[in-house]
């Protein structure tokens, strides 16, 4: 069953066709990687999915619900979690408070003026942090956290509203190589356990080929390949525009 | 009719020149150093005074003497600007933006008193320009010759600045630094001297703007504040950092002002509407419109983000039992004050309590919510006038009028806030300033309703609260309640949303929160609480004047918050107490209390960049951390 269905998505900036007629779908529990060279239109595509950019044409559906024209905050309420290429967390709050904010928002408890926020949804927040392995740092400020840990906080925040779909824009950008695989392994585990559909963009091919169930390749705004990792890796056009000869990856493994 | 329009147009052009010079200097300084220089109006004022002194020295009659005085006046102001940069601002480039603002506020206070000391409190009118004393005839109307020179000066300076910025190596560096000063530093440019020279140029332009006004307006001590608010408006309307924008904006505003004066009174459907009275606010109305339609000004661009300069806000600790114990203890001690203090002391403490609320509410906006308000006095004044008018016009008793004051101010804050929350940073601050100025001028001019410049008198507490001790206890109870409410709200989910919005608007949106709505309500809450403080103020003084919502009052609030430290919750209360006490203490002993206050503020900024309460907090944390660290080492 597909959670996210995208068809005919297009966007142009001035005369530049950033995204042209892109269609794909993601199923529950599936990790779909969106890859392509710089400037291929990945981020534009992403920003249209979560409502930050209006699409020129095409449709985006979450289950049966159309997301076109909705604001990011309303899309989140339908069960779409989001992590950013450059982490966006509340740096003056602790790790736990960051998660509590998402929980308070999910439970519509924000318009309250008296009871301290950090006493509310404590256990739920700790449970989420436990899922991403961050309980031991729950009381630390996000502003002083290592980057890899911030990515895990973002993941916990994204899970706070029991999402059906996770959108992750370059989830491992800026992380050390060892941490990258660990983070995606964690994501894959959580997605399968919670039957969550995951769409992610990624430049690290080790991460992509190790964890993606399926891959779509974008080049100059157009979808040029789609399929299982092995098939995509063998695709001559993908090799030409993005992977190079493929020798590097093949030799390394 | 045509002749009138032409003359008004020429008047507008002449008025635009000085405005443009000042605004261009402000804009260049902001572009490179990212410092919003509040002292820029003071530099303008110094320009007039110095030109006056030089004219007296060179002789009033000679043409060379006059223009020499103008040039020397402007150059001296340029040197003063460079000295200020080296002595003060260079030390605080890495400090938070608000500290830089506070330092320039301090300079305003100091320069005002220096001018008072040197030139005295009397207005000084310079000579008319030798050789240009007459008037020319344009379409049958007389137009001063000197104004023709002014009309030329603006475009000439614009052209010279353009050449300087686009055709010299120095100008290239300035433009590069405006875009990305870290990168300029990384390329091996000596930033310190670049900044100093930019300050020299900016101050020179302000001084020149002042000096050329010598034959047109008297040198006086209020010029600093009026000029800086004009200059801010022009820079914001034109776009921060855009010289061309400043020129266009100066022309636009000077023209609109000139035409408002030219139109005079117009009767529409039997109602007399005075356009000439509009001149006090028209520029702020233009600014409000421009900011809402084009948030980055007419020719401005969205500001590039700055690397490194953004300080990570520290964690906010929960209010624990110890904190509440100290608060309750302090309140109990304050309740006992009437037993030991005389009425004089009680009045001082009532003032302190009222301004503690004012500062706490302002801090609520500028600290946790990240929305800096330069016009917070508007809500204080709305509360003052709300209470006074309910009491005088509707004959409500004190109790009801006090309940009414936060409602009046809250409604005002809802209206102003709707526009304000659409902006951020310096632009937000400027829009709040604009609204405060609009509120002030309405109060100032509406003689029949608000008493105009005389204000309102005879607003006394109900019989039971007339006794100073009772009123003191009432004020303490209300003020303590307000401050505690704000503290609770900051720690409650609502306050957390505002803080989250300051930390990362992107993430707030991504977890389903409509941030603007929360900011709007936050604005209204802060306005309402400030209004209640205003209501109390009215009843404690028995009378009010438009000064309660004028710009200096807003500045006082900012100084209190920054003095105490913006990163602590208790800071604003400490700052308000310190400020009110200092003002009272110093003002009683010397005419130059502003300068003393200014030097105190400067010393604090340079010595404790985290504010007094912030400094105490850091010292306390260090003291507690030391034994632990020692234990680990052992």
Burial of B428 (0-12, 13-18, 19+ CB in 10 A): buried
B608 near B568, Cβ under 8 Å? no
Looking at per-residue pLDDT, the higher value among B259 and A149 belongs to: A149
A171 and A158 both lie in a single domain: no
A71 near B505, Cβ under 8 Å? no
Percent of chain B with pLDDT over 70: 95
Alpha helices in A173-212 (DSSP H): 177-194, 205-211
The mean predicted confidence, pLDDT, of chain B is 87
Is A84 contained in some domain?
no
A100 and A34 both lie in a single domain: no
Closest CB from B495, B500, B510 relative to A72: B510
Cβ within 8 Å of residue B117, ≥6 positions away: B592
Is A29 contained in some domain?
yes
Q: Average the pLDDT over B60-78 and give the result.
A: 91
What is the per-residue pLDDT for B301?
A: 76
Rounded Cα distance between A120 and B496, Å, is: 12
DSSP 8-state class, residue A113 = -
pLDDT tens per residue across span B216-242: 889 998 888 888 888 888 988 988 878
Q: Average the pLDDT over B276-283 and give the result.
A: 77
Query: Which token pair is B8?
Result: 């008004």
Q: Residue A167: beta bridge partners?
A: A82, A199
A107 and A147 both lie in a single domain: yes
3-state secondary structure of B624: helix
What is the per-residue pLDDT for A245?
A: 55
Q: Which residues from chain B sit within 8 angstroms of residue A109, using beta carbons?
A: 493
The reply to whether residue A104 touches residue B493, judged by beta carbons under 8 angstroms, is: yes
- Calculate the alpha carbon distances from A79 to A40, A186, B87 in Å: 27, 20, 56
The answer to whether B519 contacts chain A (CB < 8 Å) is no
Is A34 contained in some domain?
yes
Looking at per-residue pLDDT, the higher value among B6 and B426 belongs to: B6
A71 and A192 both lie in a single domain: yes
The reply to whether residue A101 touches residue B496, judged by beta carbons under 8 angstroms, is: yes
A121 pLDDT above the threshold of 90:
yes
Distance from CA of A30 to the nearest CA of B (A): 22
Q: Any idea which of B233-247, B287-301, B306-320 has the lowest mean pLDDT?
A: B306-320
A74 and A173 both lie in a single domain: yes
| Full domain range(s) for residue A118 | 91-162
pLDDT tier for residue B303 given thresholds of 50, 70 and 90: low
Chain B residue with the nearest C-alpha to that of A93: B315
What is the per-residue pLDDT for B395?
A: 94
Phi-psi region of B458 (alpha: psi -120 to 50; beta: other; left: phi over 0): left
Q: What angle do CA A245, A247, A249 make, to 5 degrees?
A: 115
Rounded Cα distance between B262 and B386, Å, is: 34
What is the per-residue pLDDT for B527?
A: 97
Cβ within 8 Å of residue A37, ≥6 positions away: A219, A241, A242
Residue by residue, what is the 3-state secondary structure of B296-348?
A: CCCCCCCCCCCCCCCCCCCCCCCCCHHHHHHHHHHHHHHHCHHHHCCHHHHHH
pLDDT tier for residue B602 given thresholds of 50, 70 and 90: confident
A172 and A124 both lie in a single domain: no
DSSP 8-state class, residue A79 = T
Q: Average the pLDDT over B96-107 and give the result.
A: 81
Q: What is the largest CA-CA distance in chain A?
A: 62
* Residues within 8 A of A (CB atoms), B 195-254 only: none
A144 and A127 both lie in a single domain: yes
pLDDT tier for residue B410 given thresholds of 50, 70 and 90: very high
pLDDT tier for residue B633 given thresholds of 50, 70 and 90: very low
The reply to whether residue B491 touches residue A118, judged by beta carbons under 8 angstroms, is: yes
A251 pLDDT above the threshold of 50:
no
Domain end call among A162, A189, A216: A162
The answer to whether B500 contacts chain A (CB < 8 Å) is yes
User: A197-201 and A31-35 as β-strands: parallel, antiparallel, unpaired?
Assistant: parallel
The answer to whether A104 contacts chain B (CB < 8 Å) is yes
Q: Average the pLDDT over A26-32 and give the result.
A: 94
A103 pLDDT above the threshold of 60:
yes
Q: Which residues from chain B sit within 8 angstroms of residue A114, using beta carbons?
A: 488-489, 492
pLDDT tens per residue across span B458-497: 999 999 999 999 999 999 999 999 999 999 999 999 999 9
A193 and A247 both lie in a single domain: yes
Rounded Cα distance between A226 and A230, Å, is: 11
Helix (H) or strand (E) holding A17: strand A16-27
Domain end call among A102, A134, A162: A162
The mean predicted confidence, pLDDT, of chain A is 90
- Cβ atoms within 10 Å of A37's Cβ, excluding its own: 14
B632 pLDDT above the threshold of 60:
no
A104 pLDDT above the threshold of 80:
yes
Helix (H) or strand (E) holding B384: helix B377-392
A189 and A240 both lie in a single domain: yes
A195 and A139 both lie in a single domain: no
pLDDT tens per residue across span B352-405: 999 999 999 999 999 999 998 989 999 999 999 999 999 999 999 999 999 999
A74 and A169 both lie in a single domain: yes
What is the per-residue pLDDT for B628?
A: 44
Is A129 contained in some domain?
yes
pLDDT tens per residue across span B155-175: 999 999 999 999 999 999 988
Q: Taking the model in full, what pTM does it have?
A: 0.85
3-state secondary structure of A93: coil
Closest CB from A102, A120, A143 relative to B511: A102
The answer to whether A116 contacts chain B (CB < 8 Å) is yes
Q: What angle do CA B457, B458, B460 make, to 5 degrees?
A: 130
The domain that holds A54 is classified in CATH as 3.40.50.300
Rounded Cα distance between B367 and B313, Å, is: 10
B627 pLDDT above the threshold of 60:
no
What is the per-residue pLDDT for B312?
A: 62
Q: Average the pLDDT over A229-247 and give the result.
A: 80
Q: How many independent structural domains does chain A possess?
A: 2
Is A241 contained in some domain?
yes
pLDDT tens per residue across span B327-360: 999 999 999 999 988 889 999 999 999 999 999 9
What is the per-residue pLDDT for B304?
A: 53
A232 pLDDT above the threshold of 50:
yes
Nearest residue to B353 (alpha-carbon basis) of B371, B329, B330: B330
Helix B551-564 to helix B343-366 angle (10° resolution) is: 80
Q: Which CATH number fits domain B2-293: 1.10.1740, 1.10.1200, 1.10.357, 1.10.3470?
A: 1.10.3470
Query: Which token pair is B577?
Result: 């107490």
pLDDT tens per residue across span B610-624: 667 777 777 777 777
What is the per-residue pLDDT for B626?
A: 59
What is the per-residue pLDDT for A119?
A: 93
Nearest residue to B66 (alpha-carbon basis) of B55, B56, B77, B74: B55
Rounded Cα distance between B169 and B178, Å, is: 14
pLDDT tens per residue across span A173-221: 888 888 888 889 999 999 999 999 999 998 888 889 999 999 999 998 9
Rounded Cα distance between A246 and A227, Å, is: 17
Is A85 contained in some domain?
no
Closest CB from A77, A89, A92 relative to B316: A92
pLDDT tens per residue across span A42-96: 989 988 998 888 999 999 999 999 998 899 999 999 999 999 888 899 999 999 9
- Calculate the alpha carbon distances from B262 to A222, B259, B402 in Å: 62, 5, 43
3-state secondary structure of B544: strand
Closest CB from A94, A101, A141 relative to B511: A101
> Residue ranges per domain, chain B?
2-293, 341-549
A45 near A9, Cβ under 8 Å? yes
B307 pLDDT above the threshold of 60:
no
What is the per-residue pLDDT for A253?
A: 47
Domain end call among A142, A162, A182: A162
A250 pLDDT above the threshold of 50:
no
Nearest residue to B370 (alpha-carbon basis) of B423, B315, B307, B291: B423
A178 and A149 both lie in a single domain: no
Closest CB from A90, A94, A114 relative to B488: A114
Burial of B464 (0-12, 13-18, 19+ CB in 10 A): exposed
Q: Any idea which of A243-252, B317-326, B579-588 has the lowest mean pLDDT?
A: A243-252
3-state secondary structure of B29: helix
3-state secondary structure of A10: strand
Alpha helices in B91-168 (DSSP H): 97-119, 145-167
């Amino acid at each position: 069953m597909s959670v996210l269905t995208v068809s005919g998505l297009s966007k142009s900036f001035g005369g530049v066709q950033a995204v042209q007629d892109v269609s794909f779908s993601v199923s529950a529990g599936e990790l779909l990687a969106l890859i392509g060279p710089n400037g291929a239109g990945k981020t534009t595509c992403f920003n249209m999915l979560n409502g930050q950019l209006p699409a020129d044409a095409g449709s985006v559906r979450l289950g049966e619900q159309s997301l076109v024209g909705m604001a990011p905050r309303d899309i989140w309420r339908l069960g779409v979690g989001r992590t950013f290429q450059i982490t966006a967390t509340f740096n003056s709050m602790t790790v736990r408070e960051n998660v509590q904010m998402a929980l308070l928002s999910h439970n519509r408890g924000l318009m309250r003026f008296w009871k301290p926020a950090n006493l509310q949804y404590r256990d739920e927040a700790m449970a989420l942090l436990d899922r991403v392995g961050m309980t031991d740092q729950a009381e630390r400020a996000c502003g002083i956290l290592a980057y890899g840990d911030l990515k895990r906080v973002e993941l916990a925040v994204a899970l706070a509203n029991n999402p059906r779909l996770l959108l992750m824009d370059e989830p491992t950008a800026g992380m050390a190589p060892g941490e990258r695989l660990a983070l995606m392994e964690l994501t894959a585990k959580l997605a399968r356990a919670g039957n969550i559909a995951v769409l992610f963009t990624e430049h690290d091919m080790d991460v992509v080929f190790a964890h993606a169930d399926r891959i779509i390749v974008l080049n100059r705004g157009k979808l040029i390949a789609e399929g299982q990792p092995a098939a995509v890796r063998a695709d001559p056009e993908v090799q030409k525009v993005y992977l190079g000869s493929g020798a590097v990856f093949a030799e390394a493994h | 009719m045509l002749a009138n329009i032409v003359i008004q147009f020429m008047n507008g052009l002449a008025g635009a020149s000085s405005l443009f010079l000042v605004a261009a200097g402000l804009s260049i300084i902001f572009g490179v150093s990212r410092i919003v220089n509040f002292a820029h109006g003071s530099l303008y004022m110094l320009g007039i005074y110095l030109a006056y002194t030089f004219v007296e020295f060179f002789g009033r009659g000679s043409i060379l003497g006059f223009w020499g005085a103008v040039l020397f006046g402007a150059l001296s102001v340029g040197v003063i600007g460079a000295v200020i940069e080296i002595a003060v601002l260079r030390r605080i480039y890495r400090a938070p933006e608000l500290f830089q603002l506070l330092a320039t506020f301090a300079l305003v206070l100091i320069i005002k008193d220096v001018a008072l000391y040197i030139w005295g409190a009397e207005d000084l009118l310079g000579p008319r320009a030798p050789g240009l004393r007459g008037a020319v005839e344009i379409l049958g109307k007389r137009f001063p010759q000197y104004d023709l020179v002014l009309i030329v000066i603006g475009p000439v300076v614009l052209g010279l600045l353009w050449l300087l910025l686009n055709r010299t190596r120095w100008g290239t560096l300035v433009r590069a630094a405006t875009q990305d000063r870290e990168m300029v530093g990384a390329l091996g440019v000596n930033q310190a001297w670049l900044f100093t020279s930019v300050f020299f140029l900016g101050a020179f332009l302000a001084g020149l703007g002042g000096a050329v006004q010598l034959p047109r307006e008297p040198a006086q001590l209020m010029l600093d504040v009026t000029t800086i608010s004009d200059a801010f408006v022009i820079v914001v309307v034109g776009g921060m950092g855009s010289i061309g924008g400043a020129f266009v904006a100066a022309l636009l505003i000077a023209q609109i002002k000139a035409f408002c004066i030219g139109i005079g009174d117009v009767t529409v459907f039997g109602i007399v509407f005075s356009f000439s009275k509009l001149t006090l606010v028209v520029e702020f109305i233009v600014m409000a419109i421009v900011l809402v339609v084009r948030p980055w000004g007419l020719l401005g661009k969205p500001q590039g983000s700055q690397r490194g300069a953004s300080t990570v806000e520290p964690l906010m600790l929960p209010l624990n039992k110890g904190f509440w114990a100290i608060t309750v203890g302090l309140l109990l001690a304050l309740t006992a004050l009437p037993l030991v203090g005389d009425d004089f002391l009680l009045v001082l403490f009532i003032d302190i309590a009222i301004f503690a609320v004012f500062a706490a509410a302002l801090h609520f906006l500028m600290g946790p919510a990240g929305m800096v308000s330069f016009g917070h006095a508007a809500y204080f004044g709305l509360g003052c006038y709300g209470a006074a008018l309910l009491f005088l016009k509707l004959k409500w008793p004190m109790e009801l009028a006090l309940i009414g004051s936060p409602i009046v101010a809250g409604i005002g804050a809802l209206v102003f806030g709707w526009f304000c929350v659409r902006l951020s940073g310096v632009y937000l601050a400027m829009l709040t300033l604009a609204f405060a100025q609009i509120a002030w001028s309405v109060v100032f001019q509406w003689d029949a309703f608000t008493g105009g410049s005389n204000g309102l008198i005879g607003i006394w507490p109900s019989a039971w609260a007339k006794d100073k001790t009772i009123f003191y206890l009432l004020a303490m109870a209300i003020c303590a309640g307000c401050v505690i409410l704000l503290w609770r709200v900051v720690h409650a989910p609502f306050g957390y949303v505002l803080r989250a919005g300051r930390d990362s608007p992107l993430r707030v949106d991504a977890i389903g929160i409509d941030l603007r709505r929360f900011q709007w309500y936050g604005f209204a809450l802060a306005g309402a609480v400030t209004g209640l403080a205003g209501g109390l103020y009215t009843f404690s003084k028995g009378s009010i004047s438009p000064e309660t919502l004028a710009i200096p009052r807003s500045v006082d609030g900012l100084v209190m918050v920054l003095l105490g430290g913006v990163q602590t919750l208790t800071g604003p209360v400490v700052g308000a107490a310190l400020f009110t006490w200092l003002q009272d203490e110093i003002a009683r002993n010397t005419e130059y209390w502003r300068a003393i206050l200014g030097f105190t503020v400067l010393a604090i900024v340079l010595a404790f960049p985290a504010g007094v309460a912030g400094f105490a907090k850091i010292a306390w944390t260090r003291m507690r951390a030391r034994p632990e660290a020692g234990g680990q080492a052992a």
